[in-house]
Amino acid sequence: MFKPALLMLDDGVCFEGEARGAAREAAGEVVFTTGMAGYQETLSDPSYLGQIVSFTSAHVGNYGVSPLDDESARFRAAGAVFHDLFTAAEGIPFPHWRAEESLDARLARQCVTAIAGLDTRALTLHLREHGARGGIISSLDLDRPSLLRRAGEIPPMQGQDLAVTAGCRQSYEFSPPLSSRPSHGNRPLMRVAVLDFGVKRSILVHLARQGMAVKIWPAVTSAADILADAPDGVLLPNGPGDPEPCVQAVNVIRDLLGRVPLFGICLGHQLLGLALGGRTYKLPFGHHGVNHPVLDLSTRRVLITSQNHGFCLDPDSLPSRAAPSHWNLNDHTLEGMVVKDAPAFSVQFHPEAVPGPTEAGILFERFRDLILNAR
C-alpha cells in the first residue's frame, strides 16, 4: 500500500519503513520526543525548524488534526518518524469531534515527509547513547551509500541562527480568540511586546488571558523601536537553532534589560543568559516532551513541564546578578533564573504547556505582577 522508505543517520545506522506524508526527502537533525499526545502541536512548533522529530509514543494520529491546535500557520518540523501512524478508513469519522483531516493528509498537504513502521524504540535508544544525529528520510533514493554520503553533509545545529528566519517579517497585533479574553472585559490591562524568534501561538493566548494587549515584532527589531512603542513589558519566546549565533537579539536584550520588565521562555531564556554574559552548550539529545520534572526553588514544588530544546545555559558561566530559580530533576540542568538588579526572569521549559500539564502556567501571572510592580 505504501512505498518503502529509509531513515539514514549520518553515522551509518539505517532504519527501514514506509513512506508517509509528502513524496519528497527530508533532512535535518533527528531528535525524539516523549509526549504521549500533542503530535500536531509538536509538528507545528517553530522550535522544531530544521529537525526531524521521532515520536516515542507507539500510536500517533489517532485523533486527527484540527486548525484549533496549531502552534503556527503550518507544520515547521523538517520531517517526522512514527512507529504506527493511524490511517482513517474511508467514510469512518475520527474519534475526536474537532478533527478535520488525518495527520497523514496534513503532512502531505503541507509538504512534510514522514516515515512509519520502523522501530522507534531502537532509534530512541541509539539517539540517547550517541546523541542527536543528522539524518535523511527518503523514498526517492534508496541507495544507502548515497544517502549516507548526503546525511554526512547535513550541517550541525551548532552555529545555526534559525531564530531570525522562524518568526514574522512585519510587526502585528495579536487578536486572541474570544475564549482567551480576560474576564474583566476586552480592555487590556497592559501592553506587551513579543520578539518573534518563532513564538508559539499558545504563548500569545496565555498573555492575552492575563489582560495583555500583545504586539509581535520581528526578531531583528532594535531595542529603540520597541521602546518607542512604550510597551509595559517584553516577552522573549521560544525559537529554533543555536542561541549563541543570535548576536543581534542578544544585543537587543542587553539594551532592554533594566529598562522594561522581561520574561524569557526556552530560547528567550538562553538569550537572556547570553545578554547577562553567560554561555550555552549543546545537550547530547536535548529535552523534548511533556513529562520533565523541574524543581521550583521559590516554592520547593516539583513542576511537570513541557520542554523542547537542544541547548542549555551553563549556570557556572552566569554572573552573580543572576540567581537560579528552577532545576531539572532528571539531569540537574538549569531550568530558570531571576535577575537580581532588574525586573527580569526566565525559564527553560514551556509554561504554556500546550499540550501537557498546566501547573507552570502561574509564571504568566508572575510576569503580569512584575509589570504591575514596575509601574
- Beta strands at 133-138 and 4-9: parallel, antiparallel or unpaired: antiparallel
- How high is the pLDDT of residue 81? 98
Predicted pLDDT of residue 90: 55
**Pairwise CA distance, residues 64 & 176, whole Å:** 24
Supply the CATH number for residue 26's domain.
Answer: 3.50.30.20
Of the CA atoms within 13 Å of residue 272, those in its CB half-sphere come to: 34
Is there a single domain that holds both residue 135 and residue 171?
Answer: no
Write down the H helix ranges in the chain: 39-43, 103-109, 120-130, 144-151, 163-166, 201-209, 223-228, 247-256, 267-275, 362-374
Q: Would you please indicate which residues are annotated as catalytic (active-site) residues?
A: 266, 350, 352
Residue 101 per-residue DSSP state: B
- CATH number, domain of 197, equals 3.40.50.880
State whether 127 and 265 are in the same domain. no
* Domain ranges, residue 213: 163-374
Per-residue pLDDT of the chain (375 residues; tens, 9 = 90+): 899 999 999 999 999 999 999 999 999 999 999 998 899 999 999 999 999 999 999 999 999 999 999 999 999 999 999 999 987 665 566 667 888 899 999 999 999 999 999 999 999 999 999 999 999 999 999 999 999 999 999 999 999 999 999 999 999 999 987 665 665 555 668 999 999 999 999 999 999 999 999 999 999 999 999 999 999 999 999 999 999 999 999 999 999 999 999 999 999 999 999 999 999 999 999 999 999 999 999 999 999 999 999 999 999 999 999 999 999 999 999 999 999 999 999 999 999 987 777 888 899 999 999 999 988
Q: Is residue 229 part of a domain?
A: yes
Helices 247-256 & 267-275 angle (0-180, nearest 10): 70
Instruction: Give the per-residue pLDDT at 280.
Output: 98
Residue 222 is assigned to a structural domain of this protein: yes
Could you tell me if 288 and 312 lie in one domain? yes
Output the pTM of the full model: 0.95
326 and 241 assigned to the same domain = yes
Rounded CA gap, 38 and 306, in Å? 11
Query: Is there a single domain that holds both residue 168 and residue 310?
Result: yes
- In the prediction, which pLDDT does 177 show? 78
